[in-house]
Chain A
Amino acid sequence: DTAVSQTPKYLVTQMGNDKSIKCEQNLGHDTMYWYKQDSKKFLKIMFSYNNKELIINETVPNRFSPKSPDKAHLNLHINSLELGDSAVYFCASSQGGTNNEQYFGPGTRLTVT
């Protein structure tokens, strides 16, 4: 069973469109994250939810909106896509508290044309 899964794996879309990426974890973790990895492999945290509550909200355009319907799911919706949004987006989860080892999903490669 896949621990952290994301759909879709690839997403190609045009500028101005709205798209969503879904993430699910079956590890029973309390905390989930969204990261953006650019073409230089730099990894930047975007959001984090703990038990459906937003706890980390980095400087991200408000076109990006996370939503956590339950603690096993964290979705990312992006409005009015721009060329600069092209990247690989990773979902991750961890058990909160002192042990913060994170488990990453396989990533969603978003290409905006």
Chain B
Amino acid sequence: AQSVTQLGSHVSVSEGALVLLRCNYSSSVPPYLFWYVQYPNQGLQLLLKYTTGATLVKGINGFEAEFKKSETSFHLTKPSAHMSDAAEYFCAVTRRNTNAGKSTFGDGTTLTVKP
């Protein structure tokens, strides 16, 4: 079975500061990895994903994440936070080579950006 742990349910940063949201997974084989963002009163939207190839993945809005197999991690970063980044962030994993497409989501991290 696969699982996802997001360390820190709430993260607060100042505008312009580094954003670091942590995600660790547990899976028998390295899964596909995703980060989604949910703005208030909206559905989730994809920020970035890792399927294969380069382990540093760049996404939308200046976010990036690095897949580290040895650490079973896929942490999300952004060099400089913007007020508009305040949202809920979800890490998700999907087992490879499956047609069921079931994703396991972490519990989410609320990002607050202070002026």
Can you list, as one digit per residue, whether each of A77-97 has a CB less than 8 Å from chain B (1) or not (0)? 000000000000010101011
B residues 64-105 with Cβ under 8 Å of A?
Answer: 88, 90, 94, 96-97, 99-103, 105
CB distance from B65 to the nearest CB of A (A): 14
A36 to B66, CA, bound (A): 29
Report the count of interface residues on A (CB-CB < 8 A): 26
A101 to B96, CA, bound (A): 12
A75 at the interface (CB under 8 A from B): no
A31 at the interface (CB under 8 A from B): yes
A90 to B36, CA, bound (A): 14
B44 at the interface (CB under 8 A from A): yes
A105 at the interface (CB under 8 A from B): yes
Number of A-B contacts (CB under 8 A): 64
Contact A90–B100 (Cβ < 8 Å): no
A99 at the interface (CB under 8 A from B): yes
Q: Whose C-beta in chain A lies nearest to the C-beta of B106?
A: A43
Residues in B neighbouring A105, C-beta threshold 8 A: 43
Residues in B neighbouring A4, C-beta threshold 8 A: 43
Contact A104–B94 (Cβ < 8 Å): no
Contact A104–B51 (Cβ < 8 Å): no
Contact A106–B108 (Cβ < 8 Å): no
Contact A101–B34 (Cβ < 8 Å): yes
A48 at the interface (CB under 8 A from B): yes
A102 to B44, CA, bound (A): 9
Between A and B, 17 residue pairs with Cβ closer than 8 Å are: A31-B101, A40-B107, A41-B110, A43-B44, A43-B90, A43-B108, A45-B102, A48-B100, A50-B99, A55-B99, A92-B44, A99-B51, A100-B94, A101-B34, A106-B42, A107-B41, A107-B42
Binding site for B on A (CB under 8 A): 4, 31, 40-43, 45, 48, 50, 55-56, 90, 92, 94, 96-107
